[in-house]
Every structure is written in C-alpha cells, then in structure tokens.
Amino acid sequence: MEIKVQLVNLPGSSANWKRALEVPKNELPSLSDEQKLFAKRFGMSDEEYARSIWAGRFSEALYKRYAEQLGKFLHDASLSSDMELIEIAYDGWKNKFYCTLQKRGGERIPLVIDANLIIHPLETGDDESLRYAAKRVKRAAELALQPASALRVGFGDHQGAEEV
C-alpha cells in the first residue's frame, strides 16, 4: 500500500536537535552555496545549519510514520467500504491531517483528522488508545462517504470536510 504523504510546517524538537548533535561531522550533508549564504545571514555556522537539516530529517521521519499509521487505518476502513485513500497531508501549524478519499470511480472527498488522535497513542505505546483511534478514523471515513445531502461541517481550507 503506497500512500502519497505531504508534510508541511513540521515542528522541531529539542530531542531531534540533540540527535542531530550526535551525528558525526563527516556524515553531515554538504551545503549548497545558497544554504551557506542563508546560514551566514542568520549567524549560523555551516555545521550548525547542516545539523539543523539533520534535525529536520528526524522530524520528517517521525511525522511520516504518524501519517502512515493514519493511512493504514484508512486503508483498513476502505476494505469494508467503497473508497480509497488518495493522499494525506500533515500541517504542523494546525496539527491536523488533511486526507483526500475517493469513492471508487467517483468524487474526491476531504477528511480532516486531529493529529493527536494518532500521535498520542503512538508516542505513549497505548494499544487501547490506538484501537480507539482506528475505530474513530473508520467512523469518520464512513461519515465522509455519506451522500452529499448528509450533514457536513466545514473547517478552514477543507470546506465541507468531516473533522475527527
């Protein structure tokens, strides 16, 4: 199951910065001239900027894992319904997953999921909360797939989207 995942406005963390500080200097990425100029403008050494790139990669991997878990829940929900998952986008500033579902052979339907529903059980290792999240995501997908005459609640830039 290949899921298209987009990640924007990812939050950083002190834990990821600490991990980046442990990366050996010779494993840091080479910077382009543009990146070196950017680092200089902000008073950073090339090494500090390269480490910030590594810290960003750690954050990206973490949030991609969260998006993939949501994708698994939506895939599992699709096995008993008439839909497929097209893509998932995570916006770190809003802490939401913006999903695009599609009725098989039909219209695309937006679905917004509060990221804490997925992130909290994964970070705490709480299997019961993870099962609860799977049920909530399945129910949200079912509601989103109801006919257009059904009640829809709009949120921000995903007008008409169901939100969980």
pLDDT tens-digit profile of 77-113? 888 788 888 899 999 999 999 999 988 778 899 999 9
Sign of CA dihedral 113, 75, 110, 144: negative
Give the DSSP letter of residue 60: H
Q: What is the pLDDT of residue 154?
A: 42
Q: Which of 64, 93, 104, 107 is nearest to 157 (CA)?
A: 93
Q: Are 113 and 96 in contact (CB under 8 A)?
A: yes
Q: Which of 152, 148, 131, 129 is nearest to 140 (CA)?
A: 152
Sign of CA dihedral 102, 88, 77, 163: negative
CA 40 to chain centroid, in Å, comes to 31
pLDDT band at 128, cuts 50/70/90? very high
pLDDT band at 117, cuts 50/70/90? very high
CA 3/CA 72 separation, integer angstroms: 9
**pLDDT tens sequence across 26-84:** 999 999 999 999 999 999 999 999 999 999 999 999 999 999 999 999 999 888 788 88
pLDDT band at 153, cuts 50/70/90? very low
Question: Looking at the predicted structure, is the pLDDT value of residue 162 above 60?
Answer: no
